[in-house]
Amino acid sequence: MPRFVPLTALDAHTPVIVGVGQASERLDDTDYRALSEADLAASAVTRALADTGLAAPTVAAEIDTVVTVRTFEESTPLAQSPLGRPDNMPRAVAKRVGMNPGRAVLGVTGGQSPQALLTEFAAEIDDGRSDAVVLFGAEIISTVRHLTGTRAPDERPDFAEQVGGQLEDRGHGIAGLTTHQEVQHGLLAPLVQYAALENARRHRLGLDRDPYAATMGELFAPLSRVAATNPHAATTTARSVDELVTPDDGNRVVADPYTRLLVARDQVNQAAAVVLTSVGTARELGIDPDRWVFLHGHADTREQTLMRRPDLSAAPAAAAAVRHALEVAEIGLDDVAFLDIYSCFPIAVSNVIDPLGVAPDDPRGLTLTGGLPYFGGPGNNYSMHAIAEAVDRARSAPDNHAMVVANGGILSKTSVGIYSTRPAPWHPGDSAGVQELLDAAPAVRTTDHADGPATIETFTVTPGTDGNRKGIVIGRLTDGTRFIANVERDDEEMFGLLDGEHAIGTGVYVRSSARGNRVFINRAAMLRRHPVSRPAFRDRYDHAAIRRVGHLLEITINRPEAHNALHAAANTELDAIFDAYFADPDLWVAILTGAGDKAFSAGNDLAQTGTAGLQVPKNGFAGLTSRRTRPKPVIAAVNGYALGGGLEVALACHIVVADKRAQFGLPEVTVGLAALAGGLVRLPVAVGPALARDMILTGRRLDAGEALAAGLVSRIAPAGEVMALARSVAEEVLAASPTSVRESLRAMEEAATVPDEFDAIDTTATALDALLVSADTVEGITAFVTKRPPRWTGR
């Protein structure tokens, strides 16, 4: 039985909801005013203050904290506000309604945030750190799109305000929700990510397309009927199952298996607010206890990142959060009379109800608002509306419980709240303990570069523009490693497989490149499109130059106008050049340098960083930094700056010689990046951990003398003579047995992976096996005995 205490026995710090409010407007409303976000939010807050039963100014004067749910416009570092916005939204809204809070907070991104913030500040009140809090969120996505699409820039309103004052900006909180693999392969928007998860669930249930589509329609049609009666809903049209799942001109497929009417509707103008006080403050203000609603249970959990989840068809953190919230409330699921489950996409609902045993047609219904596709999906703030509805339901049915399940990310973050007018003390719960168990689940290994036989784990296809479909596949290699790949746009065989009933579980073939992974129906299909060719030098390069002198290859990064910084095309050319060098038996040594006298390489060309910036060859910057084996020596002739990726390229070379004017550094942290192309690993080995940390964490540069003293370079040339020095070093290497040089390099690389010194020495002994059968070894010994110069063959 749920716990019960009389009102008089409640501690004065017990948190209680005393007011809720919602505001909205639609473009076709007769009184549509194109309100700004702050004005629409102020309307919701004013209604919430008045919902206490007192005059709004009376309650407003008591508010010490205002908390804002982050909008879509602020949800990522790259987001923009086309019509402008206040620099301090919490205080902009507070000013409008007569509040003067001591604390203003802007929450993190995510649909879980309304419930998570309410839980957090309920705990703040219980701890005595606050007495009265207003939480709100607002979105005017519909208005912004309408005004920017119909008015010239000089005719649009300016919603910017300089408010100033204290603001606790929590940041975006999106770390771990997106990987570079997902960005590169187009698995970035929630629509396509959820679609891939939905297809994984269809496969797990063993359903063909049409029967599964029917289940999605049957799940969501009742939501639309609820929305049709909600005055704040974005649409008031009740939909049948067939209307939801049948594609037509007004209900196109947006990402397999979703039609437009099955996904969240973000073009809305909606705001909601909650007033949360202590019992003591509610008593002092004289708020009628009949309006008090208590948070009986709560939980917050986080799922593993999408690509590391053991099962892409399910995210168990959501059901775990519901179960824990029920434990905190000391009730069972059958004791909950009202449910609102976050419904951005069908799987967000089924992921909750499946493991809990709730039927899609549960007589309680699964939404209080009408759901995100029909009521509307106001950015991160949907669940604030659900909380407002839950409070209203709890008041209408005293002693019953209402539950709100809020979801953020890609089934990534779940926050649950259980509400009732039944008086109850605050209970802190133990979400951290639940999270420990979730975190103990095994994670799947992933790879950026996938090659070989594989199996489709899930997929989606988006229609794109002008008929240019985009196929995205998540698969597993034979060793269980997971990858993302795209289908080549004109690969009708592969699209035909994905259009069928049973693509998941089918064997395919995947091939990696700088553009990402590409998946084919089989190896033969891959070879038809990409025949194997022997690595070879081209007659001309756009961003590099080569010079061949006997057994020596000289390679020049030829982008002096950009300080020899590397972009996608330059990396691709250098990768091909090194492929040809390592494959050519008549080339024994290579020198790498930069054009001009200013820079060896300034690293990644940030001016061209974007999606193309992710197109780095499998072998890394310059085709070297991630190359698993470099079987023949490469000498770096550093003729100026070797910065960022430029230093990482030099570190990947076997010998580094420098012009006396050269400088070395990893400045990535000064521009918000990190030296992830080998610098974080190789620099500590080259110069020692203390100096490496200094360079990596501060961006400190070393001149040539310091680099020589630290062991980063082996020789220094007078100004302008570094290539002469590099050629001299190359001649010294060429004077040695090329077979011995190659075997020495191989043995050193293998020994570097063995931690025990004597085991490492034993590893190097394997070089003797190759040398015993080498013609160069016989020639070397013969030449030594006969006192003549050796004539190496490289065999």
CATH code of the domain containing 525: 2.40.50.840
What are the distances in angstroms from CA 254 to CA 196, 370, 575? 12, 21, 38
Asked whether the predicted pLDDT for residue 1 surpasses 50, the reply is no
Structure tokens at 240: 């049948």
Q: For the segment 624-655, what is each residue's pLDDT rounded down to a tens digit? A: 999 989 999 999 999 999 999 999 999 999 99
Residues 555 and 652 in one domain: yes
**What Rg, from alpha-carbon coordinates, does the chain have?**
32
Tell me how far apart the alpha carbons of residues 360 and 344 are, in angstroms, rounded to a whole number: 16
Across-strand partners of 275?
A: 19, 134
| Residue 600 near residue 646 (C-beta atoms within 8 A) | yes
- CATH number for the domain spanning 688: value is 3.90.226.10
322: in domain: yes
Task: Please choose, from the candidates 453, 267, 474, 494, the residue with its C-alpha nearest in 3D space to the C-alpha of residue 374.
Answer: 267
Last residue of a domain, one of 709, 734, 759: 734
Tell me how far apart the alpha carbons of residues 173 and 509 are, in angstroms, rounded to a whole number: 36
Ranking 26-40, 154-168, 298-312, 772-786 by mean pLDDT, the lowest is 772-786
Counted domains in the chain: 5
25 is catalytic: no
Task: Please choose, from the candidates 559, 752, 576, the residue with its C-alpha nearest in 3D space to the C-alpha of residue 654.
Answer: 752
446: in domain: no
Residues 564 and 699 in one domain: yes
Q: Which residues contact 586 (CB under 8 A, 6 or more apart)?
A: 551, 794
Secondary-structure percent of the chain, ordered helix, strand, coil, rounded to 5 = 40, 20, 40
| Residue 296 near residue 422 (C-beta atoms within 8 A) | yes
pLDDT band at 611 (very low <50, low <70, confident <90, very high): very low
Residues 523 and 639 in one domain: no
Asked whether the predicted pLDDT for residue 131 surpasses 70, the reply is yes
pLDDT band at 758 (very low <50, low <70, confident <90, very high): confident
Structure tokens at 617: 């060859």
Residues 252 and 270 in one domain: no
Check residue 542 and give left, alpha or beta (phi > 0: left; psi -120 to 50: alpha): alpha
Asked whether the predicted pLDDT for residue 541 surpasses 50, the reply is yes
Give pLDDT, residue 607: 76
* pTM of the shown model: 0.90
Give pLDDT, residue 176: 72
Asked whether the predicted pLDDT for residue 26 surpasses 70, the reply is yes
Per-residue DSSP letter, 293: B
pLDDT band at 29 (very low <50, low <70, confident <90, very high): very high
Residues 407 and 478 in one domain: no
Residues 754 and 714 in one domain: no
Tell me how far apart the alpha carbons of residues 84 and 94 are, in angstroms, rounded to a whole number: 18
In the block, tokens 């000289």 appear at 554
Structure tokens at 422: 């039944």
How far from the centroid of its chain's Cα atoms is residue 693's Cα? 27
Give pLDDT, residue 614: 60
Tell me how far apart the alpha carbons of residues 490 and 786 are, in angstroms, rounded to a whole number: 65
Asked whether the predicted pLDDT for residue 473 surpasses 80, the reply is yes
Q: Work out the mean pLDDT of the chain and round it to a whole number.
A: 94
Give pLDDT, residue 115: 98
Task: Please choose, from the candidates 244, 39, 28, the residue with its C-alpha nearest in 3D space to the C-alpha of residue 140.
Answer: 39
Asked whether the predicted pLDDT for residue 107 surpasses 50, the reply is yes
Which amino acid, residue 411? Answer: L
Across-strand partners of 536?
A: none
Give pLDDT, residue 613: 53
794: in domain: no
646: in domain: yes
CB atoms within 10 A of CB 542: 12
160: in domain: yes
538: in domain: no
Tell me how far apart the alpha carbons of residues 183 and 700 are, in angstroms, rounded to a whole number: 31
Asked whether the predicted pLDDT for residue 322 surpasses 60, the reply is yes
Asked whether the predicted pLDDT for residue 679 surpasses 90, the reply is yes
Give pLDDT, residue 4: 65
How far from the centroid of its chain's Cα atoms is residue 528's Cα? 34
CB atoms within 10 A of CB 192: 22
Residues 238 and 375 in one domain: no
In the block, tokens 């302008």 appear at 720
Structure tokens at 10: 């409640």
Residues 164 and 191 in one domain: no
pLDDT band at 767 (very low <50, low <70, confident <90, very high): low
Task: Please choose, from the candidates 483, 639, 661, the residue with its C-alpha nearest in 3D space to the C-alpha of residue 650.
Answer: 639
Task: Please choose, from the candidates 725, 738, 737, 731, the residue with its C-alpha nearest in 3D space to the C-alpha of residue 584.
Answer: 738
Tell me how far apart the alpha carbons of residues 106 and 333 are, in angstroms, rounded to a whole number: 33
Mean pLDDT to the nearest integer, 386-412:
97
Tell me how far apart the alpha carbons of residues 60 and 71 are, in angstroms, rounded to a whole number: 23
539: in domain: no
DSSP annotation string for 100-133: --SEEEE--SSTTHHHHHHHHHHHHHHTTS-SEE
Give pLDDT, residue 609: 56
Positive or negative, the CA dihedral 82, 230, 122, 111 is negative
SS3 of 23-51: EECCCCCCCCCCCCHHHHHHHHHHHHHHC
Asked whether the predicted pLDDT for residue 359 surpasses 70, the reply is yes
The Cα diameter of the chain in Å comes to 110
Q: For the segment 549-597, what is each residue's pLDDT rounded down to a tens digit? A: 999 999 999 999 999 999 999 999 999 999 999 999 999 999 999 999 9
List the catalytic residue out of 668, 706, 721, 779. 668
Tell me how far apart the alpha carbons of residues 669 and 681 are, in angstroms, rounded to a whole number: 15
Tell me how far apart the alpha carbons of residues 455 and 89 are, in angstroms, rounded to a whole number: 49
Mean pLDDT to the nearest integer, 316-323:
98
Mean pLDDT to the nearest integer, 406-421:
97
Last residue of a domain, one of 714, 734, 754: 734
- Bridging pattern class, strands 336-341 and 452-462: unpaired
How far from the centroid of its chain's Cα atoms is residue 584's Cα? 41
Structure tokens at 763: 């590893």
537: in domain: no
Task: Please choose, from the candidates 48, 66, 65, 68, the residue with its C-alpha nearest in 3D space to the C-alpha of residue 56.
Answer: 48
No. of H helices and E strands in the chain?
26, 27
- Bridging pattern class, strands 589-594 and 552-557: parallel
668 is catalytic: yes
Structure tokens at 166: 């204290």
Distance from first CA to last CA of the chain, Å, rounded?
84
- Bridging pattern class, strands 132-140 and 269-278: antiparallel
What is the CB-side half-sphere exposure of residue 247 using CA atoms within 13 A?
A: 12
List the catalytic residue out of 648, 721, 731, 750. 648
Residues 494 and 358 in one domain: no
DSSP annotation string for 355-366: HHT--TT-TT-S
Residues 200 and 52 in one domain: no
Structural domain of residue 771, as residue ranges?
739-786
Last residue of a domain, one of 483, 506, 529: 529
The total number of residues written for the chain in this structure: 795
Residues 640 and 552 in one domain: yes
- CATH number for the domain spanning 332: value is 3.40.47.10
pLDDT band at 612 (very low <50, low <70, confident <90, very high): very low
Residues 755 and 716 in one domain: no
